[in-house]
């Protein structure tokens, strides 16, 4: 990826996290990224194209920070790996706060901007897939559909907990505790959920 293109995506994420998708003006963003408006359109075609690529960028960045401290792959404790990867999504660091804010805002905007939905579904699917893999390593005796359902619940929970934290409805430490318990509860239930046809 060209440096200029990356700089535009970094600036777009920052602007979305600060003012929301609806507060993002292409001209202002170009100024913030230090590029011309025409270069921005050259790279992303239009505003919708820019938003889609920003979503992809945010999703990739989350992959990177949840893989931190783990550059050599997973440990021999799959349960700890799972907890660590998921809890890294709920941290009060500038990067995670900005990423979570921008992701939540793009999710919320997609209710009103159908152009965003396909890319959002794709990024969500990839995230669920990664978490399902971790669950599969921690509970190999359960089936793949059960891993996927658990992964869907845990990722939905992370989105919802981030929203409560970022809107002051819940302290971060409490959100992290609820997530740790949810992981516990899902892991315990996993073999049983296979039998649940509810």
Sites of contact with a second copy (CB under 8 A):
19-20, 22-23, 101, 104-105, 107-112, 114, 116-117, 120-121, 124-125, 149, 152-153, 156-157, 159-161, 163-164, 166-170, 177-178, 180-182, 184-186, 188-189, 192-193, 196, 198
- The first and second tokens of residue 130, run together, are 């990664």
Q: Which of 66/124 has CB closer to a second copy?
A: 124
Cα gap 130→60, rounded to integer Å: 12
Q: Is 159 exposed, middle or buried (0-12, 13-18, 19+ CB in 10 A)?
A: middle
Q: Which of 34/92 has CB closer to a second copy?
A: 92
Q: Which of 35/132 has CB closer to a second copy?
A: 132
String of b and e for 102-141 (b: at least 16 CB within 10 Å)?
bbbbbbebbeebeebeebbeebbeebbebbbbbbbebbee
Q: Which of 137/164 has CB closer to a second copy?
A: 164
Rounded alpha-carbon distances, angstroms, from residue 1 to 6, 9, 49, 140: 7, 11, 16, 37
In angstroms, what is the minimal distance from the CB of 101 to a second copy?
Answer: 6
Could you tell me if 131 and 84 are in contact, meaning their C-beta atoms sit under 8 angstroms apart? no
In angstroms, what is the minimal distance from the CB of 49 to a second copy?
Answer: 18
Q: Which of 102/134 has CB closer to a second copy?
A: 102
In angstroms, what is the minimal distance from the CB of 151 to a second copy?
Answer: 10
In angstroms, what is the minimal distance from the CB of 158 to a second copy?
Answer: 8
């Amino acid at each position: 990826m060209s440096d200029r293109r990356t700089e535009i995506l970094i600036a777009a994420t920052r602007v979305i996290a600060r003012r929301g998708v609806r507060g993002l003006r292409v001209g202002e963003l170009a100024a913030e990224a230090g590029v011309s408006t025409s270069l921005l359109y050259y790279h992303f075609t239009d505003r919708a194209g820019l938003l889609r690529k920003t979503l992809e960028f945010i999703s990739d960045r989350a992959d990177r920070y949840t893989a931190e401290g783990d550059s050599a792959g997973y440990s021999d404790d799959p349960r700890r790996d799972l907890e660590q990867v998921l809890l890294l999504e709920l941290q009060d660091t500038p990067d995670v706060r900005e990423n979570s804010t921008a992701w939540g805002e793009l999710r919320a905007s997609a209710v009103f901007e159908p152009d965003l939905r396909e890319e959002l579904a794709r990024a969500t699917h990839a995230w669920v897939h990664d978490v399902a893999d971790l669950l599969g390593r921690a509970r190999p005796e359960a089936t793949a559909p059960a891993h996927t359902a658990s992964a869907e619940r845990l990722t939905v929970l992370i989105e919802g907990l981030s929203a409560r934290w970022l809107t002051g409805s819940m302290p971060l430490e409490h959100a992290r505790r609820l997530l740790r318990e949810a992981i516990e509860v899902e892991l315990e239930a996993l073999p049983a959920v296979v039998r649940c046809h509810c």
